[in-house]
Structure formats: C-alpha cells, structure tokens
Structure 1
C-alpha cells in the first residue's frame, strides 16, 4: 500500500468515505459525523496539502489529515508552545477494516510529525465515542482532558473535545510513502 497526497479529484471519494463511516457509526449507536462535512471546506484542506490517501493498488483504503494547525479552543497556550502536529478525519474503508490500517496510519503520522520536528502527535476525538477513545489509548495515546464547551455554533457544547497525545518517534509503518518531505513545524505565536 502507498500513501499519496490527496488531490482535488479525490473529493468525491473523501465525501463518500465520511458518509460510509457515519453510517457504520450510526449502526453502532453513535451520532459521530452524522452531519455532512462541507465539500468546500474539505477541498480547501486538500489544497493545503494536509490530506493523505492510503491506496491499495487502485482502491483507496483509508485517509488521514495531518496538520500543524490546532483547532481553536482545544489546546492551552502552554501546549501550543510545544511543537505538535494534529491528526484529523482518520477514516478506513469498511473493505479494509480489521487490518489495523488506522493504527499503522497513526504510526505513519507520528513518524512524519517526528521528521517535521514535532514533539507531540495530538488529536481530538468524539466526546461520546468511548470505543474510539479506547482505540487511541490502545495505540499509545494518553488522554489529556475532555473539553465540553466552546463548540463551533455559538460557543455551545463541543462534540469532538476528547484530547489525547503521544510522543512522536521514528516508526516503520511499512507503507510506500509517496508524499513530499514534511514542512518543519513552527510554534504558535
């Protein structure tokens, strides 16, 4: 399998991934990702070069977003003073579930973050998805805290505020990495 940067032509596939994941999560009783993600926002993210596709020959097996930009209101100023990269929208196609592809992508992200000079690989997870939180804990992340206020709409409840991090390090993820070298991480102002 190989990792490549997402292209604008991948937008329909990425939107379909999210719909597939939302339907699967709904079947598990979770409301995670139940609202469609705005296509224009996703396209803008693709164009920044922070969205990556894991391809299994001609099939897209998974996607991950890795950025040095933290979502507003989640991390403290002290935490933001440490070089970090942030994982978002990790999604594995149901056809490739059960192969620990997500865990291997987290390893890839930690390795890439390490190459960029980051100390931490950080993420926020759905506040009510306890199985997902356990998944991240099993993959070496430590829970930092849960932020429940300051959501995107009028400062209301935050739905994705379970925060976790793990130290970055070089890792053999065994993917063919066809991405450009990462941009060095700069600290928040």
Structure 2
C-alpha cells in the first residue's frame, strides 16, 4: 500500500470529518465512548469549525491518501490549554486520525513521520502530541510504539460528564 501525504485545504474538511465519524463509530462499536462520545463529528459546530480552521491555515492540515482516497489526516499547530505550553520550539500534533477500514496499513506512522519531517525541516528538535489517557491506555501505548514517551497527564473538566483524562507525549529528534 503506497501512501502519499499532501497539504490539506478547505476542500478536505468533509473528508476529515468523515474520517473522524468513522473513528467514532469504531470506538462506539468497541464500547469505548469515553474518548469522543457517540455523536458524529460532522454534526458538531465546534468540530466543524476546528477542522475548517486547520484547513484554512497553510501548513496545518495534511492528508494521507491511498489510490487518490483520503485515508488519514494530520493537523499541526500550537498546543492549547490545558496542555502545558512547550518550553522550546516544537511541532505539536493537534489531530491524527486514520481510516478504520485501513487499520494495520501504517497510515498513522506515515503521518507521524511527516510531523517529524516537518520538525526537522524547521530545525525543531521536539514533536509533542496529546491523546485520550483513559480506558486501558491503548492510545498511549500506540504513541509509545511510535517512539514517543509520556510527559504530563492532564484533565479536561466537562459539564455533566466525567473529566476527560489526557496524556501529553513527547519525542525528541
């Protein structure tokens, strides 16, 4: 499977939302509703605005394609609270999502390699990412398998729902 990565833009917003919806459906089917809930991202004004913002910012959104079809998305940018600010220049992964129908094809690794390449081209020595830190820690272990190490845990307080546990991971290049 030959995966290519290209810059994303406004025409990719619906494809990224579809990838997020597919990932949520996959999580729900596994009984893992704590991470993103059960509602489609494509119907969330907040999520639509977020992805549209990534798409409108040059160098922020990247699309992984296989045979001309989007199979993953990466967004890089600044970390936002409650994630602690970086103490040195970094590339921060704000979004990483892959097509669950293509699981096991290394799409996430290709996109993380792209983030590392962006860092190296910018002369930056650090790549950070945050992820859901709950359930059995599977997502944390995925990033560890990609060469990241745990940095700081954090929590997002939510109204009428349990706090959302997060984990920041870091990779020095």
Give your verdict on TM over 0.5: yes
Residues of 2 paired with 1:8 and 1:39: CA distance? 11
**Does the Cα contact within 8 Å between 2:19 and 2:71 map onto a contact in 1?**
no
Q: Considering only aligned residues, what root-mean-square deviation do their CA atoms show, in Å?
A: 2.0
Residues of 2 paired with 1:92 and 1:134: CA distance? 17
Q: 2:16 aligns with which of 6, 14, 17?
A: 14
Q: Does 1:47 align with 2:50?
A: no
**Does the Cα contact within 8 Å between 2:149 and 2:169 map onto a contact in 1?**
yes
How many residue pairs get matched?
A: 161
Unaligned runs of 5+ in 1: 169-189
- Residues 1:122 and 1:47: Cα distance change in structure 2 (over 3 Å): same
Normalised by the length of structure 1, the TM-score is 0.77
Normalised by the length of structure 2, the TM-score is 0.83
Residues of 1 paired with 2:126 and 2:118: CA distance? 11
Q: Which runs of 4+ in 1 moved over 4 A?
A: none
Unaligned runs of 5+ in 2: none
Structure 2 partner of 1:161: 166
Structure 2 partner of 1:178: none
Q: Quote how far apart the aligned CAs of 1:51 are.
A: 0.9
Highest RCO, 1 vs 2 (Cα 8 Å, sep ≥ 6): 1
Q: 1:66 aligns with which of 56, 66, 76?
A: 76
Look up the SS of the partner of 1:71 in the other structure. Answer: coil
Pick the structure with more strand per residue. Answer: 2
**Does the Cα contact within 8 Å between 2:64 and 2:107 map onto a contact in 1?**
no
